[in-house]
Amino acid sequence: MKRWFGVALGIVTSIGGFLEIGSITTAAQAGADYRYQLAWSIVLGTICIALLIEMSGRFAAVSKHTIADAMRERFGLHFFMVPLVLVFFVSLLVLAAEIGGVAVSIELVTGIHYPLWALPAALLAWALLWYGTFSIIENGISLLGLVTVSFAVAAVHLGPDWHALASGLAPSLPSKEPAHYWFIAVSVLGASVSPYLFYFYSSGAIEEKWDVTHLGPNRVIAAIGMGFGGFLSVAVLVVAALVFAPRGIKVEEYTQLPLLLSAPWGRVGFGLFAGSLFITCLGATAEIALALAYKIAQGFGWNWGEDLGPSDDARFSLTYTLILLVSMLLVLVGIDPLKLTTLSMALTAASLPVAILPFLILMNDSKYLGEHTNGWLGNLAILVISVLSGIVAVVSIPLEIIGGS
Amino acid sequence: MQLLLVRDVLDNQLVDASGKNAGKVDGIILELREGQPPCVRYVEVGPITLTRRLNRRLGRWFARLDARFGSGRGVPIRFPLTRITFEEPSLRIDVLVEHTPIMALEQWLRRTIVRRIPGS
Protein backbone atom coordinates (compact mmCIF):
# COMPACT_ATOMS: atom_id res chain seq x y z
CA MET A 1 0.00 0.00 0.00
CA LYS A 2 2.77 2.37 1.02
CA ARG A 3 4.66 1.52 -2.17
CA TRP A 4 1.68 2.41 -4.36
CA PHE A 5 1.13 5.61 -2.44
CA GLY A 6 4.75 6.38 -3.32
CA VAL A 7 4.06 5.65 -6.98
CA ALA A 8 0.99 7.92 -6.99
CA LEU A 9 2.96 10.66 -5.27
CA GLY A 10 5.84 10.20 -7.74
CA ILE A 11 3.48 10.52 -10.70
CA VAL A 12 1.75 13.57 -9.28
CA THR A 13 5.04 15.32 -8.48
CA SER A 14 6.43 14.52 -11.95
CA ILE A 15 3.37 16.16 -13.49
CA GLY A 16 3.45 19.13 -11.11
CA GLY A 17 7.20 19.59 -11.61
CA PHE A 18 7.32 19.18 -15.39
CA LEU A 19 6.55 22.71 -16.53
CA GLU A 20 8.93 25.56 -15.74
CA ILE A 21 10.02 28.73 -17.52
CA GLY A 22 11.89 26.75 -20.20
CA SER A 23 9.07 24.46 -21.23
CA ILE A 24 6.38 27.16 -20.95
CA THR A 25 8.36 29.69 -23.02
CA THR A 26 9.58 27.32 -25.73
CA ALA A 27 6.17 25.63 -26.13
CA ALA A 28 4.53 29.07 -26.28
CA GLN A 29 6.99 30.24 -28.95
CA ALA A 30 6.46 27.03 -30.92
CA GLY A 31 2.66 27.44 -30.82
CA ALA A 32 2.79 31.17 -31.61
CA ASP A 33 5.12 30.80 -34.60
CA TYR A 34 4.15 27.41 -36.06
CA ARG A 35 0.77 26.57 -34.48
CA TYR A 36 0.65 22.79 -34.04
CA GLN A 37 3.51 21.95 -36.40
CA LEU A 38 6.17 21.58 -33.67
CA ALA A 39 4.11 19.39 -31.30
CA TRP A 40 6.35 16.47 -32.33
CA SER A 41 9.39 18.12 -30.69
CA ILE A 42 7.60 18.04 -27.31
CA VAL A 43 6.65 14.39 -27.82
CA LEU A 44 10.24 13.50 -28.77
CA GLY A 45 11.65 15.40 -25.78
CA THR A 46 9.16 13.75 -23.44
CA ILE A 47 10.02 10.24 -24.67
CA CYS A 48 13.71 11.03 -24.23
CA ILE A 49 13.37 12.42 -20.68
CA ALA A 50 11.05 9.57 -19.63
CA LEU A 51 13.66 7.04 -20.83
CA LEU A 52 16.48 8.94 -19.10
CA ILE A 53 14.57 9.29 -15.84
CA GLU A 54 13.76 5.57 -15.84
CA MET A 55 17.43 4.79 -16.49
CA SER A 56 18.76 7.06 -13.76
CA GLY A 57 16.32 5.62 -11.20
CA ARG A 58 17.24 2.07 -12.26
CA PHE A 59 20.94 2.91 -12.09
CA ALA A 60 20.70 4.25 -8.52
CA ALA A 61 18.39 1.45 -7.31
CA VAL A 62 20.60 -1.36 -8.65
CA SER A 63 24.14 0.00 -8.29
CA LYS A 64 23.62 2.18 -5.16
CA HIS A 65 25.70 4.80 -6.96
CA THR A 66 24.58 8.20 -8.09
CA ILE A 67 25.42 9.05 -11.70
CA ALA A 68 28.05 11.67 -10.86
CA ASP A 69 29.74 9.31 -8.41
CA ALA A 70 29.88 6.51 -10.99
CA MET A 71 31.04 8.80 -13.80
CA ARG A 72 34.08 9.83 -11.80
CA GLU A 73 34.74 6.22 -10.82
CA ARG A 74 34.25 4.76 -14.29
CA PHE A 75 35.85 7.41 -16.50
CA GLY A 76 38.46 8.91 -14.16
CA LEU A 77 39.06 12.48 -13.04
CA HIS A 78 39.93 14.06 -16.41
CA PHE A 79 36.96 12.79 -18.35
CA PHE A 80 34.63 13.46 -15.42
CA MET A 81 35.63 17.14 -15.52
CA VAL A 82 34.42 17.63 -19.14
CA PRO A 83 30.68 16.98 -18.65
CA LEU A 84 30.92 18.49 -15.14
CA VAL A 85 32.19 21.85 -16.38
CA LEU A 86 29.90 21.90 -19.44
CA VAL A 87 26.70 20.91 -17.61
CA PHE A 88 27.64 23.25 -14.77
CA PHE A 89 27.86 26.38 -16.95
CA VAL A 90 24.80 25.58 -19.05
CA SER A 91 22.78 24.80 -15.90
CA LEU A 92 23.88 28.07 -14.28
CA LEU A 93 22.20 29.88 -17.20
CA VAL A 94 19.10 27.69 -16.89
CA LEU A 95 19.06 28.40 -13.15
CA ALA A 96 19.27 32.14 -13.82
CA ALA A 97 16.33 31.77 -16.22
CA GLU A 98 14.28 30.03 -13.51
CA ILE A 99 15.13 32.70 -10.92
CA GLY A 100 14.09 35.18 -13.62
CA GLY A 101 10.81 33.28 -13.94
CA VAL A 102 10.08 33.62 -10.22
CA ALA A 103 11.01 37.31 -10.35
CA VAL A 104 8.82 37.93 -13.42
CA SER A 105 5.85 36.21 -11.78
CA ILE A 106 6.16 38.59 -8.81
CA GLU A 107 6.47 41.55 -11.21
CA LEU A 108 3.23 40.47 -12.91
CA VAL A 109 1.39 40.73 -9.60
CA THR A 110 3.12 43.76 -8.04
CA GLY A 111 4.10 45.80 -11.09
CA ILE A 112 7.61 46.27 -9.67
CA HIS A 113 10.34 45.53 -12.27
CA TYR A 114 11.73 41.98 -12.07
CA PRO A 115 15.46 42.60 -11.28
CA LEU A 116 14.41 43.87 -7.86
CA TRP A 117 12.84 40.48 -7.15
CA ALA A 118 15.95 38.45 -8.09
CA LEU A 119 17.39 38.53 -4.58
CA PRO A 120 14.13 37.66 -2.72
CA ALA A 121 13.48 34.86 -5.26
CA ALA A 122 16.94 33.33 -4.81
CA LEU A 123 16.69 33.78 -1.04
CA LEU A 124 13.37 31.96 -0.94
CA ALA A 125 14.79 29.00 -2.91
CA TRP A 126 17.88 29.02 -0.69
CA ALA A 127 15.74 28.98 2.46
CA LEU A 128 13.84 25.95 1.12
CA LEU A 129 17.14 24.13 0.70
CA TRP A 130 18.78 25.32 3.91
CA TYR A 131 15.81 24.75 6.22
CA GLY A 132 13.77 22.19 4.26
CA THR A 133 14.10 18.49 3.57
CA PHE A 134 14.21 16.56 0.33
CA SER A 135 10.56 15.61 0.54
CA ILE A 136 9.42 19.22 1.03
CA ILE A 137 11.14 20.16 -2.22
CA GLU A 138 10.26 17.00 -4.12
CA ASN A 139 6.68 16.59 -2.94
CA GLY A 140 5.47 19.87 -1.46
CA ILE A 141 6.50 22.21 -4.25
CA SER A 142 5.63 19.78 -7.04
CA LEU A 143 2.16 19.17 -5.57
CA LEU A 144 1.51 22.92 -5.66
CA GLY A 145 2.75 22.77 -9.27
CA LEU A 146 -0.44 20.94 -10.16
CA VAL A 147 -1.87 24.44 -10.72
CA THR A 148 -0.27 24.07 -14.19
CA VAL A 149 -3.07 21.63 -15.07
CA SER A 150 -4.95 24.86 -15.83
CA PHE A 151 -3.09 24.95 -19.20
CA ALA A 152 -4.71 21.64 -20.15
CA VAL A 153 -8.14 22.93 -19.11
CA ALA A 154 -7.55 26.12 -21.13
CA ALA A 155 -6.49 24.11 -24.20
CA VAL A 156 -9.69 22.04 -24.16
CA HIS A 157 -11.80 25.10 -23.31
CA LEU A 158 -10.43 26.99 -26.34
CA GLY A 159 -11.30 24.09 -28.66
CA PRO A 160 -8.23 23.10 -30.67
CA ASP A 161 -8.29 21.72 -34.20
CA TRP A 162 -7.71 18.11 -33.17
CA HIS A 163 -6.90 17.00 -36.71
CA ALA A 164 -4.17 19.64 -37.14
CA LEU A 165 -2.80 18.81 -33.70
CA ALA A 166 -2.65 15.11 -34.57
CA SER A 167 -0.74 15.81 -37.77
CA GLY A 168 1.68 18.04 -35.79
CA LEU A 169 2.67 15.01 -33.72
CA ALA A 170 4.62 13.67 -36.71
CA PRO A 171 7.86 15.55 -37.56
CA SER A 172 7.56 17.66 -40.68
CA LEU A 173 9.67 20.14 -42.64
CA PRO A 174 9.18 23.82 -41.72
CA SER A 175 6.41 25.78 -43.39
CA LYS A 176 8.48 29.02 -43.12
CA GLU A 177 11.80 30.35 -41.72
CA PRO A 178 13.63 26.99 -41.50
CA ALA A 179 16.52 28.17 -39.26
CA HIS A 180 14.06 29.61 -36.72
CA TYR A 181 11.95 26.43 -36.90
CA TRP A 182 14.89 24.19 -36.03
CA PHE A 183 16.07 26.61 -33.35
CA ILE A 184 12.67 26.47 -31.65
CA ALA A 185 12.58 22.68 -32.10
CA VAL A 186 15.91 22.18 -30.30
CA SER A 187 14.97 24.74 -27.63
CA VAL A 188 11.87 22.65 -26.91
CA LEU A 189 14.05 19.54 -26.74
CA GLY A 190 16.53 21.30 -24.42
CA ALA A 191 13.66 22.39 -22.18
CA SER A 192 12.37 18.81 -21.86
CA VAL A 193 15.66 16.92 -21.65
CA SER A 194 17.48 18.87 -18.94
CA PRO A 195 20.53 16.94 -17.73
CA TYR A 196 20.08 18.34 -14.22
CA LEU A 197 16.83 16.35 -13.97
CA PHE A 198 18.45 12.94 -14.04
CA TYR A 199 21.27 13.93 -11.69
CA PHE A 200 18.55 15.16 -9.34
CA TYR A 201 16.45 12.03 -9.77
CA SER A 202 19.29 9.55 -9.17
CA SER A 203 20.40 11.48 -6.07
CA GLY A 204 16.83 11.42 -4.80
CA ALA A 205 16.71 7.64 -5.30
CA ILE A 206 19.87 7.28 -3.18
CA GLU A 207 18.50 9.69 -0.54
CA GLU A 208 15.34 7.57 -0.35
CA LYS A 209 17.41 4.33 -0.24
CA TRP A 210 15.92 2.66 -3.32
CA ASP A 211 16.69 -0.98 -4.13
CA VAL A 212 15.68 -3.42 -6.88
CA THR A 213 12.12 -3.63 -5.55
CA HIS A 214 11.70 -0.02 -6.71
CA LEU A 215 12.34 -0.88 -10.36
CA GLY A 216 8.65 -1.46 -11.17
CA PRO A 217 7.37 1.73 -9.50
CA ASN A 218 10.29 3.62 -11.07
CA ARG A 219 9.17 2.55 -14.55
CA VAL A 220 5.56 3.53 -13.87
CA ILE A 221 6.52 6.94 -12.43
CA ALA A 222 8.83 7.72 -15.37
CA ALA A 223 6.33 6.69 -18.04
CA ILE A 224 3.09 8.09 -16.61
CA GLY A 225 4.53 11.09 -14.73
CA MET A 226 6.68 12.32 -17.60
CA GLY A 227 3.99 11.39 -20.13
CA PHE A 228 1.41 13.62 -18.45
CA GLY A 229 4.05 16.31 -17.95
CA GLY A 230 4.69 16.30 -21.69
CA PHE A 231 0.93 16.45 -22.21
CA LEU A 232 0.89 19.73 -20.23
CA SER A 233 3.67 21.11 -22.47
CA VAL A 234 1.58 20.22 -25.53
CA ALA A 235 -1.33 22.03 -23.82
CA VAL A 236 0.80 25.20 -23.56
CA LEU A 237 1.63 24.88 -27.28
CA VAL A 238 -2.06 24.45 -28.12
CA VAL A 239 -3.09 27.47 -26.05
CA ALA A 240 -0.35 29.55 -27.70
CA ALA A 241 -1.49 28.38 -31.14
CA LEU A 242 -5.04 29.51 -30.32
CA VAL A 243 -4.21 32.71 -28.45
CA PHE A 244 -1.02 34.12 -30.03
CA ALA A 245 -1.04 32.84 -33.62
CA PRO A 246 -4.48 34.27 -34.69
CA ARG A 247 -3.49 37.68 -33.25
CA GLY A 248 -0.13 37.56 -35.05
CA ILE A 249 1.71 37.82 -31.72
CA LYS A 250 5.31 36.61 -31.64
CA VAL A 251 6.54 35.83 -28.13
CA GLU A 252 9.30 38.42 -27.79
CA GLU A 253 8.55 39.86 -24.33
CA TYR A 254 7.93 37.94 -21.14
CA THR A 255 5.05 40.31 -20.40
CA GLN A 256 3.14 38.70 -23.31
CA LEU A 257 3.11 35.28 -21.67
CA PRO A 258 0.21 35.79 -19.17
CA LEU A 259 -2.10 36.29 -22.18
CA LEU A 260 -1.99 32.48 -22.52
CA LEU A 261 -4.45 32.18 -19.63
CA SER A 262 -5.85 35.71 -19.40
CA ALA A 263 -7.22 35.51 -22.97
CA PRO A 264 -9.64 32.71 -22.04
CA TRP A 265 -10.23 33.61 -18.38
CA GLY A 266 -9.46 37.30 -17.81
CA ARG A 267 -8.12 38.31 -14.39
CA VAL A 268 -8.52 34.83 -12.95
CA GLY A 269 -6.44 33.46 -15.83
CA PHE A 270 -3.82 36.14 -15.27
CA GLY A 271 -3.57 35.11 -11.60
CA LEU A 272 -3.38 31.43 -12.54
CA PHE A 273 -0.54 32.15 -14.95
CA ALA A 274 1.42 34.18 -12.39
CA GLY A 275 0.84 31.45 -9.78
CA SER A 276 1.90 28.69 -12.18
CA LEU A 277 5.06 30.55 -13.18
CA PHE A 278 5.95 31.36 -9.56
CA ILE A 279 5.56 27.89 -8.13
CA THR A 280 7.08 25.91 -11.01
CA CYS A 281 10.08 28.22 -11.39
CA LEU A 282 10.65 28.22 -7.62
CA GLY A 283 10.63 24.41 -7.63
CA ALA A 284 12.98 24.27 -10.61
CA THR A 285 15.33 26.82 -8.98
CA ALA A 286 15.63 24.67 -5.86
CA GLU A 287 16.04 21.49 -7.90
CA ILE A 288 18.74 22.84 -10.23
CA ALA A 289 20.80 24.38 -7.40
CA LEU A 290 20.52 21.11 -5.52
CA ALA A 291 21.33 18.98 -8.59
CA LEU A 292 24.52 20.96 -9.29
CA ALA A 293 25.63 20.76 -5.66
CA TYR A 294 24.93 17.00 -5.73
CA LYS A 295 27.03 16.56 -8.85
CA ILE A 296 30.02 18.39 -7.39
CA ALA A 297 29.78 16.78 -3.93
CA GLN A 298 29.37 13.29 -5.40
CA GLY A 299 32.17 13.80 -7.91
CA PHE A 300 34.60 14.78 -5.16
CA GLY A 301 33.36 12.32 -2.55
CA TRP A 302 32.08 14.84 0.02
CA ASN A 303 29.29 14.28 2.47
CA TRP A 304 26.02 15.32 0.87
CA GLY A 305 22.32 15.02 1.49
CA GLU A 306 19.39 17.37 1.57
CA ASP A 307 18.17 15.60 4.71
CA LEU A 308 21.42 16.31 6.61
CA GLY A 309 21.72 19.60 8.49
CA PRO A 310 23.92 22.19 6.73
CA SER A 311 26.63 21.85 9.38
CA ASP A 312 26.89 18.12 8.60
CA ASP A 313 27.68 18.85 4.96
CA ALA A 314 29.12 22.36 5.00
CA ARG A 315 30.85 22.14 1.59
CA PHE A 316 27.67 20.83 -0.05
CA SER A 317 25.42 23.45 1.54
CA LEU A 318 27.75 26.31 0.70
CA THR A 319 28.05 25.03 -2.88
CA TYR A 320 24.32 25.42 -3.54
CA THR A 321 24.39 28.76 -1.73
CA LEU A 322 27.16 30.03 -4.02
CA ILE A 323 25.48 28.63 -7.14
CA LEU A 324 22.23 30.46 -6.31
CA LEU A 325 24.16 33.66 -5.62
CA VAL A 326 26.01 33.62 -8.96
CA SER A 327 22.87 32.83 -11.01
CA MET A 328 20.88 35.45 -9.14
CA LEU A 329 23.42 38.10 -10.17
CA LEU A 330 22.62 37.48 -13.86
CA VAL A 331 18.98 38.40 -13.19
CA LEU A 332 19.88 41.25 -10.87
CA VAL A 333 21.91 43.01 -13.58
CA GLY A 334 18.80 42.93 -15.77
CA ILE A 335 19.51 40.27 -18.43
CA ASP A 336 16.17 39.67 -20.16
CA PRO A 337 14.65 36.46 -18.69
CA LEU A 338 12.98 35.49 -21.98
CA LYS A 339 16.20 35.75 -24.05
CA LEU A 340 18.13 33.98 -21.28
CA THR A 341 15.56 31.18 -21.28
CA THR A 342 15.53 30.60 -25.04
CA LEU A 343 19.31 30.70 -25.29
CA SER A 344 19.92 28.46 -22.28
CA MET A 345 17.44 25.88 -23.57
CA ALA A 346 19.16 25.76 -26.97
CA LEU A 347 22.58 25.52 -25.27
CA THR A 348 21.23 22.65 -23.16
CA ALA A 349 20.29 20.85 -26.38
CA ALA A 350 23.77 21.53 -27.80
CA SER A 351 25.37 20.04 -24.68
CA LEU A 352 23.24 16.89 -24.69
CA PRO A 353 25.71 14.54 -26.46
CA VAL A 354 28.48 15.37 -23.95
CA ALA A 355 26.10 15.21 -20.99
CA ILE A 356 24.27 12.04 -21.96
CA LEU A 357 26.62 9.73 -23.87
CA PRO A 358 28.87 8.94 -20.86
CA PHE A 359 25.69 8.13 -18.93
CA LEU A 360 24.65 5.77 -21.70
CA ILE A 361 27.97 3.92 -21.37
CA LEU A 362 27.34 3.54 -17.62
CA MET A 363 23.86 2.17 -18.34
CA ASN A 364 25.44 -0.63 -20.36
CA ASP A 365 28.09 -1.56 -17.78
CA SER A 366 27.23 -4.82 -16.03
CA LYS A 367 29.65 -3.97 -13.20
CA TYR A 368 27.04 -1.45 -12.04
CA LEU A 369 23.80 -2.89 -13.35
CA GLY A 370 24.31 -6.66 -13.46
CA GLU A 371 21.39 -8.06 -15.43
CA HIS A 372 19.59 -4.70 -15.47
CA THR A 373 21.64 -3.05 -18.23
CA ASN A 374 19.88 -1.14 -21.03
CA GLY A 375 18.04 -2.79 -23.91
CA TRP A 376 19.01 -1.89 -27.49
CA LEU A 377 15.85 0.14 -28.12
CA GLY A 378 16.46 2.52 -25.20
CA ASN A 379 20.13 2.88 -26.21
CA LEU A 380 19.27 3.63 -29.80
CA ALA A 381 16.53 6.15 -28.94
CA ILE A 382 18.74 8.13 -26.55
CA LEU A 383 21.75 7.97 -28.88
CA VAL A 384 19.84 9.25 -31.90
CA ILE A 385 17.89 11.97 -30.04
CA SER A 386 20.89 13.38 -28.15
CA VAL A 387 23.30 13.35 -31.11
CA LEU A 388 20.75 14.85 -33.52
CA SER A 389 19.67 17.55 -31.07
CA GLY A 390 23.35 18.39 -30.45
CA ILE A 391 24.08 18.75 -34.17
CA VAL A 392 20.91 20.72 -34.97
CA ALA A 393 21.50 23.02 -31.98
CA VAL A 394 25.12 23.74 -32.95
CA VAL A 395 23.97 24.66 -36.48
CA SER A 396 20.83 26.62 -35.59
CA ILE A 397 22.07 28.69 -32.61
CA PRO A 398 24.45 30.88 -34.67
CA LEU A 399 21.83 31.20 -37.43
CA GLU A 400 19.21 32.36 -34.91
CA ILE A 401 21.63 34.86 -33.35
CA ILE A 402 22.57 36.45 -36.69
CA GLY A 403 18.89 36.41 -37.62
CA GLY A 404 19.16 34.24 -40.73
CA SER A 405 16.38 31.97 -41.86
CA MET B 1 39.68 -11.87 -5.90
CA GLN B 2 41.26 -9.85 -8.67
CA LEU B 3 41.58 -6.11 -8.18
CA LEU B 4 42.13 -3.67 -11.04
CA LEU B 5 43.90 -0.63 -9.60
CA VAL B 6 42.56 1.97 -12.01
CA ARG B 7 39.08 0.53 -12.36
CA ASP B 8 38.43 -0.65 -8.79
CA VAL B 9 40.53 1.68 -6.64
CA LEU B 10 41.47 4.97 -8.33
CA ASP B 11 38.65 7.56 -8.24
CA ASN B 12 36.47 5.26 -6.10
CA GLN B 13 34.55 6.48 -3.07
CA LEU B 14 36.14 6.13 0.37
CA VAL B 15 34.00 5.84 3.50
CA ASP B 16 35.35 6.01 7.04
CA ALA B 17 34.83 3.61 9.95
CA SER B 18 31.52 5.27 10.81
CA GLY B 19 30.22 5.14 7.23
CA LYS B 20 30.81 8.82 6.51
CA ASN B 21 32.08 9.87 3.07
CA ALA B 22 35.85 10.44 3.19
CA GLY B 23 36.56 11.66 -0.35
CA LYS B 24 37.64 9.79 -3.45
CA VAL B 25 40.87 7.88 -3.96
CA ASP B 26 42.67 10.67 -5.79
CA GLY B 27 46.02 8.90 -6.16
CA ILE B 28 47.75 5.53 -5.74
CA ILE B 29 51.38 5.24 -4.60
CA LEU B 30 53.54 2.33 -5.66
CA GLU B 31 56.92 1.53 -4.15
CA LEU B 32 59.67 0.46 -6.56
CA ARG B 33 61.92 -2.15 -4.97
CA GLU B 34 65.36 -3.32 -6.12
CA GLY B 35 65.13 -6.75 -7.76
CA GLN B 36 61.45 -7.17 -6.80
CA PRO B 37 58.17 -6.24 -8.47
CA PRO B 38 56.60 -2.86 -7.54
CA CYS B 39 54.34 -2.90 -4.53
CA VAL B 40 51.15 -0.83 -3.97
CA ARG B 41 51.69 1.04 -0.70
CA TYR B 42 49.34 3.97 -0.22
CA VAL B 43 46.26 5.74 -1.45
CA GLU B 44 46.20 9.53 -1.51
CA VAL B 45 43.13 11.67 -0.85
CA GLY B 46 42.46 15.37 -1.11
CA PRO B 47 42.77 18.46 -3.27
CA ILE B 48 46.59 18.52 -3.46
CA THR B 49 46.69 15.17 -5.25
CA LEU B 50 43.54 16.02 -7.18
CA THR B 51 44.80 19.33 -8.55
CA ARG B 52 48.24 17.82 -9.30
CA ARG B 53 46.54 15.26 -11.52
CA LEU B 54 44.76 17.99 -13.46
CA ASN B 55 47.84 20.18 -13.81
CA ARG B 56 51.25 19.98 -12.09
CA ARG B 57 51.62 23.74 -11.69
CA LEU B 58 48.11 24.02 -10.22
CA GLY B 59 49.00 21.19 -7.80
CA ARG B 60 52.19 22.96 -6.64
CA TRP B 61 50.28 26.21 -6.15
CA PHE B 62 47.59 24.45 -4.15
CA ALA B 63 50.18 22.68 -1.96
CA ARG B 64 51.86 26.03 -1.15
CA LEU B 65 48.46 27.52 -0.27
CA ASP B 66 47.57 24.53 1.90
CA ALA B 67 50.94 24.73 3.74
CA ARG B 68 49.90 28.11 5.17
CA PHE B 69 47.16 26.45 7.20
CA GLY B 70 49.48 24.86 9.77
CA SER B 71 52.25 22.36 10.36
CA GLY B 72 51.88 19.04 8.60
CA ARG B 73 49.81 20.65 5.84
CA GLY B 74 50.90 21.25 2.24
CA VAL B 75 51.61 17.57 1.55
CA PRO B 76 49.23 14.96 0.11
CA ILE B 77 47.09 13.07 2.62
CA ARG B 78 48.19 9.44 2.53
CA PHE B 79 46.86 6.17 4.00
CA PRO B 80 48.57 2.76 3.88
CA LEU B 81 46.66 0.29 1.73
CA THR B 82 46.60 -2.07 4.72
CA ARG B 83 44.02 0.18 6.37
CA ILE B 84 41.54 -0.26 3.52
CA THR B 85 38.94 -2.95 3.00
CA PHE B 86 36.81 -3.41 -0.09
CA GLU B 87 33.09 -3.20 0.65
CA GLU B 88 30.84 -2.64 -2.36
CA PRO B 89 29.97 0.02 -3.42
CA SER B 90 32.84 1.81 -1.63
CA LEU B 91 36.28 1.34 -0.07
CA ARG B 92 36.26 1.46 3.73
CA ILE B 93 39.12 3.05 5.60
CA ASP B 94 39.59 2.28 9.32
CA VAL B 95 39.88 5.87 10.56
CA LEU B 96 37.34 8.49 11.60
CA VAL B 97 37.50 11.06 8.86
CA GLU B 98 36.70 13.97 11.21
CA HIS B 99 40.11 13.39 12.83
CA THR B 100 42.02 13.59 9.55
CA PRO B 101 43.09 16.59 7.44
CA ILE B 102 40.63 15.38 4.75
CA MET B 103 37.95 17.31 6.63
CA ALA B 104 40.05 20.43 7.27
CA LEU B 105 38.21 22.59 4.73
CA GLU B 106 34.82 21.16 5.75
CA GLN B 107 35.51 21.92 9.43
CA TRP B 108 36.81 25.40 8.66
CA LEU B 109 33.71 26.24 6.57
CA ARG B 110 31.46 24.78 9.25
CA ARG B 111 33.11 26.87 11.99
CA THR B 112 33.54 30.15 10.17
CA ILE B 113 30.45 30.33 7.96
CA VAL B 114 27.76 27.66 8.32
CA ARG B 115 27.39 27.73 12.12
CA ARG B 116 26.86 31.50 11.97
CA ILE B 117 23.79 31.12 9.78
CA PRO B 118 20.62 30.34 11.76
CA GLY B 119 19.12 26.90 11.19
CA SER B 120 22.39 25.14 10.43
Mutation choice for A interface testing from B1, B12, B13, B92 by most A CBs within 10 A: B13
Query: Of A76, A16, A49, which is closest to residue A348 (Cα–Cα)?
Result: A49
Please tell me which residue of chain A has the smallest CA distance to B115.
A311
Alpha-carbon distances of A113 from A126, A276, A331, B89, rounded to whole Å: 22, 19, 11, 50
**What do you get for the CA distance between the two ends of chain B, in Å?**
44
> pLDDT tens digits for A355-376?
899 999 999 999 999 999 999 9
- The matching CATH number, chosen from 2.30.30.240, 1.20.120.1230, 3.40.50.2300, 3.40.50.300, for B5-116 is 2.30.30.240
Peptide bond into B89 cis (omega under 30): yes
Range of the domain at A132: 2-403
Reply yes or no on whether the pLDDT at A2 is more than 70.
Answer: no
Q: What is the mean pLDDT of residues A171-186?
A: 90
d(CA A257, CA A29): 10
Q: Which of A65, A301, A311 sits opposite B14 (nearest CB)?
A: A301
Q: Which of B11, B22, B114 sits opposite A72 (nearest CB)?
A: B11
Contact list, B53 vs chain A (CB under 8 Å): 77-78
> pLDDT tens digits for A118-154?
999 999 999 999 998 888 887 888 888 899 999 999 9
The SS3 call for residue A208 is: coil
Q: Which of B54, B89, B120 sits opposite A311 (nearest CB)?
A: B120
Residue A403 confidence class, pLDDT cut points 50, 70, 90: low
d(CA A332, CA A172): 40
> Residue A404: its pLDDT value, please?
47
Give the distance from CA A151 to its chain's centroid.
17
Looking at per-residue pLDDT, the higher value among A233 and A386 belongs to A233
Looking at per-residue pLDDT, the higher value among A1 and A292 belongs to A292
Cβ-based neighbours of A388, under 8 Å, separated by 6 or more: none
Reply yes or no on whether the pLDDT at A402 is more than 80.
Answer: no
> pLDDT tens digits for A190-226?
999 888 888 888 998 998 889 999 999 999 999 999 9
Q: Which of B21, B54, B89 sits opposite A303 (nearest CB)?
A: B21
Q: A310, B119: Cβ pair inside 8 Å?
A: yes
> Residue A398: its pLDDT value, please?
87
> Domain-by-domain residue ranges, chain B?
5-116
d(CA A374, CA A371): 9
Q: What is the mean pLDDT of residues B4-18?
A: 92
Q: What is the mean pLDDT of residues B7-11?
A: 91
ipTM over the 0.85 cut-off: yes
Reply yes or no on whether the pLDDT at A227 is more than 60.
Answer: yes
- Which DSSP string do the residues of A268-295 spell out, in sequence order? HHHHHHHHHHHHHHHHHHHHHHHHHHHH
> Residue A405: its pLDDT value, please?
43
Q: A130, B23: Cβ pair inside 8 Å?
A: no
Residue A246's CATH number: 1.20.1740.10
Looking at per-residue pLDDT, the higher value among A6 and A337 belongs to A337
Chain B closest-CA separation from residue A65 CA (Å): 7
> pLDDT tens digits for A291-336?
999 999 999 999 998 778 898 999 999 999 999 999 999 999 999 9
> How many domains does chain A divide into?
1
Reply yes or no on whether the pLDDT at B88 is more than 80.
Answer: no
With an 8 Å Cβ cutoff, the interface of chain B facing chain A consists of 6, 10-14, 20-24, 26, 50, 53-54, 88-89, 105-107, 109-110, 113-115, 117, 119-120
Reply yes or no on whether the pLDDT at A243 is more than 80.
Answer: yes
pTM of the model: 0.93
